[in-house]
Chains A and B, each alone.
Chain A
Amino acid sequence: MNGPKSPNSWQYRGLNMVNPGLDHLSNGLIDLVKTGHNVVAGSADLQYSNGLNRFAEAYPDRYISFGISEQNMVSTAAGIATTGVVPFVATFASFLGLLTCEQIRMDVAYSAQPVRLVGHHTGISLGFYGTSHHATEDIGTMRSIADLTVVSPSDGAQLEAAIRASANWDQPIYFRIGRGRDPVVYDGGTTFEFGKAHVHGFGEDLTIIACGITVHAALEAAAAMNAAGRSVGVIDMASIKPLDRDAIIEAADRSKSGRLMTVEEHNVLGGLGAAVAEVLTDEGKGIRLKRHGIQDEYSLIAPPTHLYAHYKLDGAGIRAVAEEFLRS
């Protein structure tokens, strides 16, 4: 036997073929190199999961294989960054945002080294891999580290735009990205600016502030609600730190129901909802905020789409939570 016969059978090295969404990270980095940036990339034994194998094929001498040693990878990247070479290092968000947290704080952020950290398969997108592979705390850990920028793109186009924008950004950055199968939000590409949200509209009944994979679902929910006569807007808060405070304030000011809502594939403690709540209280906005996400618990296991439905993080679920909130 030379291999399986059915075209449906698949194995890990063919992931790029099965899942072209994995190409965005490599595409962004290849563009940076082509435009003259001295960029290198590395991964901790997950190059097929994050698609960096394509970057490694394009620029073998710019790819660093770390093996299963995440902490070593982050501290090494910090050393590289001191020379002016810009390292992008990637692994599952659960390991990058949690296991290497101290290396990120001391060697990257406090040492002010412009390392680009790419935490992929974030949130509960690794489904039945369970808690060890879920990252529902990484916004919290990363955004509480001073001098670290945190970006959570909602699709591949926005990720590529954020990678392009990073060429003119001095601070280290934590990119929180999905599993490459995220539905397309920005058909035909988009732009990205640090500290600026992508506003898809403000709502008089409700504005839903979302990030990452929940943006697409929030847009679906808003479209359905608007079709039923509601006034619902969506803000894609891809720039989690610096946060777009003005967009949040405007959403609050435009709300006639006295309500706002956040949605995130993350614990509601310490995440996007918490960040928005901080702005609202700072500004003395007397408004009710529904923080929708994982309610300070460990997620069940299931295939990812089943989990999104279970935790009401898909379009129908967000709509149901929003309607209930508006009635309450």
Chain B
Amino acid sequence: MTLQPDVSTSAGHNSHQPDATTIEHLRERAQFIRLETIRLIDIAKTGHYTSVFSAAEVFSALYYDVMNLRRGEPGWEGRDRFTIGKGHAAVGLFPIYADLGFFPKEWLDSYTRLGSPLGDHPDMRKVPGVDFSSGSIGHALSNAIGIALAQRWTGQDYKVFCMMGDGEMQEGQVWEAALFAAQNRMKNLIAIVDRNGFQLDGRVDEVMGIEPLDQKWRAFGWEVHTVDGHDIAAVTTLLRRLRADGAREKPALVISKTVKGRGVSYMETEPGWHLGWLDPTDAQEAIAEIKAQVI
């Protein structure tokens, strides 16, 4: 695990490490997320493979380990919440929700078909397990803040996680939310930036640079951590630790360094795969490539 040197938390560094069985399980679930993404995008004939592939380990760690959830009870009041600004990665979340019993697995088979609850973006009105809808990039951190803030009036106790894209950092609303969360010392809020380096038009640094990202968030009053977002053990350890840390008086931000398209070699180097479709023969090869690796 890579940790920023100037970060201190009260929780110990090693006590949150997952055991070998857990790591193996989370790794297998991350692979499941990638493979299901390929399957569902084939139904839609277009989709965001690479936006899921960069986030697969974080999705796996959150939903299969870190977050406090109850299988089959997507509406349980005490659950940890998750909002996502890069809602176009929902195709990687729906299989998890079905797997956790939030809705019938058969729903997946009609992904994006007429009247399906499951589209390119997560919809809280239609999909059990979606804590907040998204699609318009830049709202999710504010939504997460609201859910966390409300604990003051409901007395409920949960953590709120929020994933944003690195391109999303360009939306002004993100920084309005960043100020608010720091001002209100939102210690139950853990945000994650999927720093995969690319957005639609190309490299984030070339389209509209956002570095030094860690310093920006720190200057905005957040506790900032950096992690290799494909190192499932490191991701899980860090998120467990941040979740458990009762002494933190600030919102926490994790910069998850990832590769957009991780798992399929040509997607890792060609940003155009942000959106696309693989013919079934190519999909089979992609599946074989993913299965042949240990990510």
Contact A65 B170 (CB under 8 A): no
Between A and B, 10 residue pairs with Cβ closer than 8 Å are A1-B265, A1-B289, A4-B278, A9-B278, A11-B272, A48-B272, A68-B171, A133-B121, A133-B135, A301-B119
Q: Which of A9, A46, A49, A306 contacts B276 (CB 8 A)?
A: A9
A residues with CB within 8 A of B = 1-6, 8-14, 43, 45-49, 65-69, 71-72, 94-95, 99, 127-133, 300-303, 306-307, 310
B49 to A, closest residue via Cβ: A11
**Closest beta carbon of chain A to B43's beta carbon, Å:** 10
| Given contact pairs A68-B208, A128-B116, a sample of 20 additional A-B residue pairs in the complex whose CB atoms are under 8 Å apart | A1-B265, A1-B266, A4-B266, A6-B279, A11-B270, A11-B276, A12-B273, A13-B270, A43-B201, A45-B167, A45-B170, A46-B201, A65-B201, A95-B136, A130-B135, A132-B87, A132-B121, A132-B133, A302-B116, A303-B45
Contact B172 A71 (CB under 8 A): yes
B residues 254-282 in Cβ contact with A at 8 Å = 264-266, 270-279, 281-282
Contact B279 A3 (CB under 8 A): no
Bitwise interface map of B from 157 to 198 toward A, beta carbon under 8 Å scored 1, else 0: 000000000011011100000000000000000000000000
> Cβ of A94: which chain B residues have Cβ within 8 Å of it?
136
**Closest beta carbon of chain B to A55's beta carbon, Å:** 13
Contact B279 A45 (CB under 8 A): no
Is B207 among interface residues, defined by CB-CB distance under 8 A? Answer: yes
Contact B266 A2 (CB under 8 A): yes
> Cβ of B278: which chain A residues have Cβ within 8 Å of it?
4, 6, 9
Q: Which of A13, A67, A130 contacts B170 (CB 8 A)?
A: A67
Per the bound structure, the CA–CA distance linking A14 and B278 in Å amounts to 14
> Cβ of B277: which chain A residues have Cβ within 8 Å of it?
8-10
> Cβ of B207: which chain A residues have Cβ within 8 Å of it?
45, 65, 67
Contact A68 B138 (CB under 8 A): yes
Contact B167 A68 (CB under 8 A): yes
Which 8 pairs between the two chains have the least Cβ-Cβ distance? A132-B135, A67-B208, A13-B272, A6-B279, A11-B276, A302-B114, A128-B112, A4-B282
Q: Which of B87, B167, B265 contacts A67 (CB 8 A)?
A: B167
Contact B136 A48 (CB under 8 A): no
**Closest beta carbon of chain A to B283's beta carbon, Å:** 8
Given known contacts A4-B279, A68-B167, A12 and B115 CB-to-CB distance under 8 angstroms: no
Given known contacts A4-B282, A302-B114, A69 and B276 CB-to-CB distance under 8 angstroms: no
Given known contacts A1-B285, A5-B281, A301-B119, A67 and B199 CB-to-CB distance under 8 angstroms: yes
What is the interface size of chain B, counting residues whose CB is below 8 A from a CB of the partner?
A: 46
Contact A46 B87 (CB under 8 A): no
Per the bound structure, the CA–CA distance linking A49 and B168 in Å amounts to 18
Contact B200 A46 (CB under 8 A): yes
**Closest beta carbon of chain A to B124's beta carbon, Å:** 11
Per the bound structure, the CA–CA distance linking A13 and B275 in Å amounts to 9
A68 to B, closest residue via Cβ: B170
B279 to A, closest residue via Cβ: A6
Chain B's interface: helix, strand, loop or mixed, by majority? loop
Per the bound structure, the CA–CA distance linking A14 and B168 in Å amounts to 23
Per the bound structure, the CA–CA distance linking A47 and B275 in Å amounts to 13
B168 to A, closest residue via Cβ: A68
Contact B201 A5 (CB under 8 A): no
Residue from A12, A49, A302 with most neighbouring chain B CB atoms (10 Å): A12
B90 to A, closest residue via Cβ: A130
Contact A45 B199 (CB under 8 A): yes
**Closest beta carbon of chain A to B180's beta carbon, Å:** 18
B88 to A, closest residue via Cβ: A129
Residue from B114, B167, B278 with most neighbouring chain A CB atoms (10 Å): B114
**Closest beta carbon of chain A to B15's beta carbon, Å:** 39
> Cβ of A130: which chain B residues have Cβ within 8 Å of it?
119-121, 123, 135
Contact B266 A8 (CB under 8 A): no
Per the bound structure, the CA–CA distance linking A66 and B200 in Å amounts to 12
Per the bound structure, the CA–CA distance linking A27 and B271 in Å amounts to 25
> Cβ of A68: which chain B residues have Cβ within 8 Å of it?
137-138, 167-168, 170-171, 199, 208
A300 to B, closest residue via Cβ: B115
Per the bound structure, the CA–CA distance linking A44 and B87 in Å amounts to 17
> Cβ of A5: which chain B residues have Cβ within 8 Å of it?
281-282, 285
Contact B123 A302 (CB under 8 A): no
Given known contacts A67-B207, A68-B171, A3 and B276 CB-to-CB distance under 8 angstroms: no
> Cβ of B275: which chain A residues have Cβ within 8 Å of it?
11-12
Per the bound structure, the CA–CA distance linking A306 and B138 in Å amounts to 30
**Closest beta carbon of chain B to A305's beta carbon, Å:** 10
> Cβ of B87: which chain A residues have Cβ within 8 Å of it?
132
Is B236 among interface residues, defined by CB-CB distance under 8 A? Answer: no
Contact A307 B208 (CB under 8 A): no
B residues 95-113 in Cβ contact with A at 8 Å = 112-113
A3 to B, closest residue via Cβ: B266
Per the bound structure, the CA–CA distance linking A3 and B282 in Å amounts to 9
Contact A128 B272 (CB under 8 A): no
Per the bound structure, the CA–CA distance linking A274 and B137 in Å amounts to 31
B204 to A, closest residue via Cβ: A67
B281 to A, closest residue via Cβ: A6
> Cβ of A65: which chain B residues have Cβ within 8 Å of it?
201, 207-208
Per the bound structure, the CA–CA distance linking A46 and B88 in Å amounts to 14
B133 to A, closest residue via Cβ: A132
**Closest beta carbon of chain A to B221's beta carbon, Å:** 22
Is B44 among interface residues, defined by CB-CB distance under 8 A? Answer: yes
Q: Which of B112, B115, B172, B289 contacts A72 (CB 8 A)?
A: B172
